[in-house]
Structure 1
Amino acid sequence: MAMRGSQHSPRIRGDFSVHLLMQIEMLRGDISHEQLSKKLGDVTERYLARYVAGKVHLLERDFYQLAEALSICPRVLAEQWAVACGLRVPPRLSDKDAVEWIRQRAYRHWRQYSRIARLPANRVPPDPSPMTIIREKYADILPRKAPRLSFGSHSSSKSTPEGRQQFARAYRMLVQFVHDGESQRTIGAMHGISGERARQLMVSAAYTWARRAGIELVGDRSVPFKNDAKLVKNLYAGLKFYAERQFAELETEGI
């Protein structure tokens, strides 16, 4: 893949991220992909996958976490990444500045060629919905039958027949989302309302149930964002591709 020295060419839109992917594969040594996944942790792994996919820019936090996972000095990783892109980190820079130097060049390239970078609302993925968190982490304890809880209130003494009926309806939607895997649009159609209204009702039911169950849903980032599983899968598929390519090159060279 003839990309070195072509970092200014618009036809090579992913060279920084692609070269970082190649460096990860070359520098991981005897660390397996499974071990690398554990060392990166869920959050950094997903952000790295998003970066390689061109969805976000690589954060400083994630670069340092990547270097730690590879058991390599962050400056060395920065320098190797720069060399792969046909660049050279100025020797007088401190270790921290060297890391920022290559990150900023990668950022400018991403800003120049990424359509998503020009859409501020899309630069940071939204948190997973409370329904998604329940589906991924607490589905086994979410009963199919609606518990006797008042919808949208903190005290059962405030419960009214209308409130109980509304909660029961919203809870049925939540069950359909969590246990039956239905989309909010489909659930809304099944109940004669819009998908957005169905989402609003399910959010209220999710928080009401979670609060009574002693579960904190706000700010839970341990659950993958939408499409993250596919991006992470593609990340390791890319690493395996470069591993196979390295072996093929060695065989061609007769080593």
Structure 2
Amino acid sequence: MSVGDDGDARRRLEAGIPEASALLYRERQDEILFSLRESRRYPPASLTKLLTLCLIDERLEERGLDPATRLAMPADVERVDSWWGFAPAERVGIDTLMQAAAVVSANEAANALADWHSGSAEAFTRLLNERAKVLGMEATTFSSPSGLGRHQQTTVTDMLRLVRHVHARHPRIAQLCARQSFEWNGRSHPNTNRLLSSLPGACGMKTGTLGGRINNIAFTARRGGELYVAIVLGAPTKVSRDEAVRLLMESLAP
């Protein structure tokens, strides 16, 4: 089902998503069912970690490394805004850091992976921006491996390109993002994507929040044998972000 020329249906969706940019895509038909404010630019925030994880996944494949290989956390691991308790010089498995970045959006995990990959967050960020252009994400600029920082921007259509790339080339990353929780230090921490456990057919991807005012999500679900991708950027709250996804899915992918 597509909004198409149904003006009433479109007005209902627009009224239900008054501030954010939004998009719903159906894979089999390669069809955007609905888009709203698709050229408006927002900080990607932690959606950045999707591409960070793709580059790490590629490096593991290139070098034939065991994902459980341990690396030492950087001495300045606590420089980022996070609270997962990774200690400087602590040896943590690459797979654990990837889970932390994918499931609970741990900023220090993303930075540690970037340091391991490229020697510094700055060098890794340059690679992120180079890869974004290769993927056709012409409106996107990343500012760090984690999604923190200034001077970053993206659009819902660029994020759709990234999600499609993850599904096509990095199924391991899609599977990580679908995990319900991250186990660390004897505790279970739920996925930041609350729709995983509440929306029928949900199968993954990632949230991103910046300063509490920018609330993003790239969401995937399978219904009726179809893969759907919903992108919402710039919602004022996490609740309104999730409700926008729910509205898109219930209206166009029942």
Q: Same fold (TM over 0.5)?
A: no
TM-score range, shorter chain: under 0.3
More strand by proportion, 1 or 2?
A: 2
Length-normalised TM-score, structure 1: 0.28
The structure whose residues are more often helix, as a share, is: 1
